[in-house]
Structure 1
Amino acid sequence: MGEDVLDGRYRLVRLIGRGGMGAVHEAVDTALDRRVAVKRLLSAGGPDAGATALTRFRREAQALARISHPGVVHVYDSGVHEGAPYIVMELLDGVGLAELVASREPLRPPVAAAIALEMLQALTAAHAAGVLHRDVKPTNVTVTRAGRVVLQDFGLARLAEEPAITQAGALLGTPQYMAPELIRGELPGPGADLYGLGTCLYLMLTGTPPLGTAAVDVGALVELATGPGVPRLAGRAGSDVPEDLAGLVDALCRQDPGERPVGSRVEATLASFAAHGMDELRELIAGSVREQAVEFVYSPPAQDSSAPELLDWAAIPQTEPAARDVHRPLTLSDGTRQLLLSSMTADNARSRQREAVNLVLRGDIQEAVRMLTAVAQVCASALGPDHPTTLTSQYWQAVCLARLGAGAEALELFSRVNAATEQRRGRDRD
């Protein structure tokens, strides 16, 4: 993992994501000893494009700083390092809305309504602060382990009293969830964000994108968005969505922003369906986090083709069906998992192991699992699968699984570590 340090304070740990405007890293704030997310501006091609990107990046920092609401990601700091601006934000645990829908599609109406209600309240706070998000979509929403629904990535945000940033020939945003007036280049209002809310609600309730899965070409999506629009949900044969909730989705997704309902009416309708939805949502998130952890531990990415397997499950005697078959976990992308291994070395693995154990002790289990898996894999390759450092990492992986409720998998891993430890002691005695 990288050793870059921004302004002598923020040590970059791993790349979380990369978009058209910036790259986001998990980092450690060495002054306050806390995990944070650092968004850095990517280099742009040409002076004009670079100036536009820089202006947009600064506006994101200003937008986030102006909003005080638990449903909007918190900004801690901003600065410039070696000519590149950066924003320091809270590091969110939990699961992205897009991941949640992909694994649980569709969401039950009370859960979908509860998520949408939290999103609406965050957008209302943003609008009251004079900020339009303009890119409300599932990948910009995270649900934390505590059930907090958080809007993030205000990279396209526009402060209401400032002129819009335009770039010739550029379509900023995602047509699948983008309001038609934004696609047409018109000056948006709060209704554009409510349209995004409606399309997210459509996805949650149906399990399918609002403009369908067949049209993957951007041009085709634009034609659908500005033409026929989102298909009606109310009155759909065989649908389990309550008619009033389906009607709200249809109203939010209307082509004319003037015909979309105002926030107070939307809030009242969502609240009427959201009872007990948050309790169910927290259970879903806990299950998803647990499954992701099991996937990470049981199916880690190979560091290279010659690296030994982290755990040779086939070599472990089984008296019962393998615990790894208890869950069918969410699949983490190979790219995400490879990011954890891209710059981990045997030299820094032990220090990362200490960091991961501290994360476990602080309750940051989700991040600890990722780091411990990378450490264990590097140590297995560089030091050997039964080296004490490797086994220690696997022991703490099992602790994480136990704390996340994956008891069967944790017990199997504890047994594996114990067996390997006893074998090593036997060889040492011999």
Structure 2
Amino acid sequence: MGEDVLGGRYRLVRLIGRGGMGAVHEAVDTELDRRVAVKQLRGAGGRDAAALALTRLRREAQALARISHPGVVQVHDSGRHEDRPYLVMELLDGVDLAKLVEAHGPLPPSVAAAVGLGMCRALAAAHTAGVLHRDVKPTNVTVTAAGRVVLQDFGLARIVEEPAITQAGVLIGTPQYMAPELIRGELPGPEADMYGLGACLYLMLVGTPPLGTDPVDVGVLVERAVGPGIPKLTGRIGSGVPHALAHLVDALCGQEPGHRPSTTDVDALLASLPSADDERALRRLVADRAREQAVEFVYSPPAQDSSAPELLDWAAIPQAEPAVRDVHRPLTLSDGTRQLLLSSMTADNARSRQREAVNLVLRGDIQEAVRMLTAVAQVCASALGPDHPTTLTSQYWQAVCLARLGAGAEALELFSRVNAATEQRRGRDRD
């Protein structure tokens, strides 16, 4: 596929994900030489759906432009490309809260308090600017490698003095983390966002979604949310959660909006907890997850299908004796995520992507580099051969990334494989 450049400036590099409104890409701002995230509306859909999506994208841009706070993702630009509106935002290098809990289980109370404090201060800044998020949930919270907690995806945001954007018969939001008053169709206030904060704290402290983990439909979740609600943390035996923190979560998750604590009250309580302002443990958890993700990308190649290039066959590379055995990880990435990784990579642009990835390594953007290098290695293995210098160079830099992320055993094994393949190629060239 050809390369897309939006507005003559933003070159799309990698599809990050898809949603109801459209797609989000990692891109390069060619004027400022920086990496950004670009949300672009999809072209399909009826006239009413397209108009609604456009209104929401404009509302998101306006909402983000109002807020200036390190805990809220920054908006850089907006425009149109081939009559499709797009929004350019800060690209966050980190792990979303849902993935962090999925990888580590319940977080230590001090770490959960640190994340909650960051979310609370971001919400306070948004509310002060007259913006309600309306979709506070773990997948909309990113923790960066530096321990910065960032609230993102204001696609459902409402600017207080403007009318709400609604769609008849459609539930707007995520029932697991959605305030009961929103489910009942009432006009939202800041208290609805505080409920989402409480539900996220519950997930961090318990390790499971607040309304249960059984595979139930939306109707059942809605009944639980507006009925018994989120189970109480106070008095929960063996939870290890400090009483003050458990009481705060219960208050935030209460059914009555008027009884929930304000951002000022929550900030004061969380900041008073031991180690709530210590980011060290949080940064360590993020670094652990980043290392695991890098190993997954390198050792879990995308599943083959008719639309994807043939992938790297490790069996085709001579195997050196690994320094540590059993380093191959289970295939934990979804097939969809793997296919998205390869969707913008072709044999024609693989070498230039390799150079970009090496620059990312040198800049310290290791997580993005390892994703790009994995795609390059797979495409080059198919188009040029598994022992081609370009393929082996990509694998060498994959090993460098693993080493820098602390995955020493996996990095050493990969270095050994690349060296063995390189020596065999040199032997053939001498012959």
Q: TM-score range by the shorter chain?
A: over 0.9
Partner of 1:186: 186
**Per the alignment, do residues 393 and 128 of structure 1 end up closer, same or farther by CA in structure 2, a change over 3 Å counting?**
same
Quick check: 355-364 or 309-318, which moved more?
309-318
* CA shift digits 1:325-354 (9 cap, x unpaired): 5xx689222211111222422221111111
| Aligned counterparts, 1:5-44, within 5 A | 5-43=5-43
**Following the alignment from structure 1 to structure 2, what is the Cα–Cα distance between the partners of residues 134 and 315?**
54
- Residue 80 of structure 2: SS of its match in structure 1? strand
**Per the alignment, do residues 215 and 223 of structure 1 end up closer, same or farther by CA in structure 2, a change over 3 Å counting?**
farther
* CA shift digits 1:200-235 (9 cap, x unpaired): 000000011111112521111111111111111111
- Residue 26 of structure 1: SS of its match in structure 2? strand
The Cα of 1:316 is off from its aligned counterpart by 2.0
Residue in structure 1 matching 2:327, options 324, 327, 331: 324
Partner of 2:373: 372
Q: Does 1:235 align with 2:238?
A: no
**Per the alignment, do residues 313 and 194 of structure 1 end up closer, same or farther by CA in structure 2, a change over 3 Å counting?**
farther
Retained in 1: the 8 A contact 2:317–2:386?
Answer: no
Partner of 2:345: 344
The Cα of 1:393 is off from its aligned counterpart by 0.5
**Following the alignment from structure 1 to structure 2, what is the Cα–Cα distance between the partners of residues 313 and 120?**
52
* CA shift digits 1:221-266 (9 cap, x unpaired): 1111111111111111222111111111000001110011122221
The Cα of 1:418 is off from its aligned counterpart by 1.3
**Per the alignment, do residues 76 and 330 of structure 1 end up closer, same or farther by CA in structure 2, a change over 3 Å counting?**
farther
Retained in 1: the 8 A contact 2:318–2:421?
Answer: no
- Residue 324 of structure 1: SS of its match in structure 2? coil
**Following the alignment from structure 2 to structure 1, what is the Cα–Cα distance between the partners of residues 380 and 352?**
12
**Following the alignment from structure 1 to structure 2, what is the Cα–Cα distance between the partners of residues 22 and 123?**
25
**Following the alignment from structure 1 to structure 2, what is the Cα–Cα distance between the partners of residues 313 and 141?**
41
Retained in 2: the 8 A contact 1:288–1:329?
Answer: no
Q: Does 1:152 align with 2:170?
A: no
Counterpart residue identity of residue 341, structure 1: L
**Per the alignment, do residues 256 and 313 of structure 1 end up closer, same or farther by CA in structure 2, a change over 3 Å counting?**
farther
The Cα of 1:61 is off from its aligned counterpart by 0.2
**Per the alignment, do residues 319 and 303 of structure 1 end up closer, same or farther by CA in structure 2, a change over 3 Å counting?**
closer
The Cα of 1:46 is off from its aligned counterpart by 2.8
Tell me the TM-score normalized by structure 1.
0.95
| Aligned counterparts, 1:194-233, within 5 A | 194-214=194-214, 216-233=216-233
**Following the alignment from structure 1 to structure 2, what is the Cα–Cα distance between the partners of residues 179 and 166?**
16
Quick check: 290-299 or 202-211, which moved more?
290-299
Identity of matched residues, %: 78
**Following the alignment from structure 1 to structure 2, what is the Cα–Cα distance between the partners of residues 323 and 358?**
31
The number of equivalent residue pairs is 428
| Aligned counterparts, 1:156-171, within 5 A | 156-171=156-171
Quick check: 12-21 or 145-154, which moved more?
12-21
Partner of 2:302: 301
The Cα of 1:71 is off from its aligned counterpart by 0.5
**Per the alignment, do residues 201 and 347 of structure 1 end up closer, same or farther by CA in structure 2, a change over 3 Å counting?**
same
**Following the alignment from structure 1 to structure 2, what is the Cα–Cα distance between the partners of residues 420 and 12?**
33
Quick check: 405-414 or 365-374, which moved more?
405-414
**Following the alignment from structure 1 to structure 2, what is the Cα–Cα distance between the partners of residues 2 and 229?**
50
Retained in 2: the 8 A contact 1:10–1:27?
Answer: yes
Counterpart residue identity of residue 260, structure 2: R
Quick check: 122-131 or 377-386, which moved more?
377-386
**Following the alignment from structure 1 to structure 2, what is the Cα–Cα distance between the partners of residues 122 and 232?**
25
Quick check: 168-177 or 47-56, which moved more?
47-56
**Per the alignment, do residues 338 and 319 of structure 1 end up closer, same or farther by CA in structure 2, a change over 3 Å counting?**
closer
**Following the alignment from structure 1 to structure 2, what is the Cα–Cα distance between the partners of residues 72 and 308?**
38
Retained in 1: the 8 A contact 2:287–2:405?
Answer: yes
Unaligned runs of 5+ in 1: none
- Residue 162 of structure 2: SS of its match in structure 1? coil
Q: Does 1:259 align with 2:262?
A: no
- Residue 176 of structure 1: SS of its match in structure 2? helix
The Cα of 1:311 is off from its aligned counterpart by 2.7
The Cα of 1:80 is off from its aligned counterpart by 1.4
The Cα of 1:101 is off from its aligned counterpart by 0.4
Counterpart residue identity of residue 67, structure 2: I
Counterpart residue identity of residue 216, structure 1: V
Quick check: 126-135 or 330-339, which moved more?
330-339
Unaligned runs of 5+ in 2: none
- Residue 314 of structure 2: SS of its match in structure 1? coil
The Cα of 1:317 is off from its aligned counterpart by 3.9
**Following the alignment from structure 2 to structure 1, what is the Cα–Cα distance between the partners of residues 351 and 215?**
48
- Residue 28 of structure 1: SS of its match in structure 2? strand
Retained in 2: the 8 A contact 1:2–1:12?
Answer: no
The Cα of 1:67 is off from its aligned counterpart by 0.4
- Residue 327 of structure 2: SS of its match in structure 1? helix
- Residue 316 of structure 1: SS of its match in structure 2? coil
The Cα of 1:5 is off from its aligned counterpart by 1.1
The Cα of 1:323 is off from its aligned counterpart by 6.3
Counterpart residue identity of residue 53, structure 2: A
Retained in 2: the 8 A contact 1:291–1:330?
Answer: no
Retained in 2: the 8 A contact 1:101–1:107?
Answer: yes
Partner of 1:399: 400
Retained in 1: the 8 A contact 2:311–2:379?
Answer: no
**Per the alignment, do residues 171 and 144 of structure 1 end up closer, same or farther by CA in structure 2, a change over 3 Å counting?**
same
Retained in 2: the 8 A contact 1:127–1:190?
Answer: yes
**Following the alignment from structure 2 to structure 1, what is the Cα–Cα distance between the partners of residues 322 and 338?**
31
The Cα of 1:55 is off from its aligned counterpart by 1.3
Partner of 1:363: 364
Partner of 1:291: 292
Counterpart residue identity of residue 199, structure 1: A
**Following the alignment from structure 2 to structure 1, what is the Cα–Cα distance between the partners of residues 370 and 274?**
32
